[in-house]
A and B are shown apart, each in its own frame.
Chain A
Amino acid sequence: MNEKLKPLTSRCFGPEIWLAGIAMHLAVLAGLIYAPTAVDGATGKLYHVQRIMYFHVPSAWISFLAFFVTFMASILVLAKRSEWWDCLATASAEIGVLFCTLALVTGSIWGRGHWEVWWVWDARLTTTFILWLMYTVYLVLRMSTESSERSARFGAVFAIVGFAVVPLVFASVKLWETQHPKGMVRGGLDPKMLQALLFCVGAFTLLYFALLRGRLRVERLRKAIQ
């Protein structure tokens, strides 16, 4: 084997993947068992479907974190022209798209249980869908073009422009009339619910970094072989 490639081929994931796996198992228990069932304020009935929040909110959080990492790495691609930052931008964008898809899917299931529809063209949902579309296009472009400095710079500009949608997603619930819950965490969430939610956010964050490390190794190895 080529000596330059040797350090990249030792292993895909680091030991943190096991920690992330354990944390994800505990996150399921926190969401399904530890957290109390919410009560619907209007009907007084148990509101089981709210438990989706423990996977929906962390998925959305990870997608924003991942796109932020892509955004920062893209700025550094343009500033330093380093291949490592380009690898990081692509790796993080891929994980971001995965979690953005999961946020959309779990949100849709929550919507079906609560609003009785799978999808509404609501401001928050629409802006999140646009964000997903932007970074999916980014990934398709990166995968369909040959690795070169020019394509890295073009991808970096696209990722930076695409990140402009993130503040719009955050502001959407304030700027427009929306059915999406606003400021749920600040609005007096039960302490046990908040603890479960924060634990799930932590578990997902750990999972993100474990996956990012693996994805980064794949990307670096792919570029080294090319």
Chain B
Amino acid sequence: MSYVIAAYLIVWFAVSIYGMSLYARFRRLRRAAGSQGEGNG
């Protein structure tokens, strides 16, 4: 059963980390978009 738990946890954590990294990338780009607009006036 430990193999099963390990497999489920790996999938769970990988998907969660990927989702969070996507959100972090989005926020970084949104900040960059905001500062780009300010630069352009």
The answer to whether A and B interact is yes
* Interface of A toward B, CB cutoff 8 Å: 1-2, 5, 8-9, 12-13, 17, 24, 28, 31-32, 48-49, 51-52, 55-56, 59, 98, 101-102, 105-106, 109-110, 112-113, 207, 211, 214-215, 217-218, 221-222, 224-225
Partner of A51 from B4, B30, B32, B40 at Cβ < 8 Å: B4
A-B contact count (CB 8 A): 93
CA distance A102 to B12 in the complex (A): 10
B18-41 vs A, CB cutoff 8 Å, 1 = contact: the mask equals: 110011011101101110111010
User: Assuming the A-B contacts A13-B23, A106-B7, are A98 and B33 also in contact, with contact meaning beta carbons closer than 8 angstroms in the complex?
Assistant: no
- Known: A1-B34, A102-B10; 19 extra A-B contacts, CB below 8 A, are A9-B30, A12-B22, A13-B19, A28-B8, A51-B4, A55-B7, A55-B8, A98-B14, A98-B15, A98-B18, A106-B7, A106-B10, A112-B3, A113-B3, A214-B19, A218-B25, A218-B26, A218-B29, A221-B26
Partner of A2 from B11, B27, B33 at Cβ < 8 Å: B33
How would you classify the secondary structure of chain A's contact residues: helix, strand, loop or mixed? Answer: helix
Interface footprint category on B:
20 to 34
Contacts of B29 in A (CB 8 A): 9, 218, 221-222, 225
Contacts of A106 in B (CB 8 A): 7, 10-11
Partner of A109 from B7, B12, B15 at Cβ < 8 Å: B7
**Across the interface, do B33 and A8 meet the contact criterion of CB distance under 8 Å?**
yes
Partner of B14 from A1, A101, A112 at Cβ < 8 Å: A101
Partner of B30 from A101, A105, A221 at Cβ < 8 Å: A221
Across the A-B interface, the 10 shortest Cβ-Cβ residue pairs: A1-B37, A12-B26, A113-B3, A2-B37, A5-B33, A106-B7, A221-B29, A9-B30, A51-B4, A52-B7
Sampled A-B contacts (22; CB under 8 Å): A2-B37, A2-B40, A5-B33, A9-B29, A12-B22, A31-B8, A48-B1, A52-B3, A52-B7, A55-B11, A102-B14, A106-B7, A109-B3, A109-B6, A109-B7, A112-B3, A214-B19, A215-B22, A217-B26, A221-B33, A222-B29, A225-B29
CA distance A112 to B2 in the complex (A): 11
Contacts of B8 in A (CB 8 A): 28, 31-32, 55
Across the interface, name the chain A residue whose C-beta is closest to B6.
A109
Contacts of A5 in B (CB 8 A): 33, 36-37
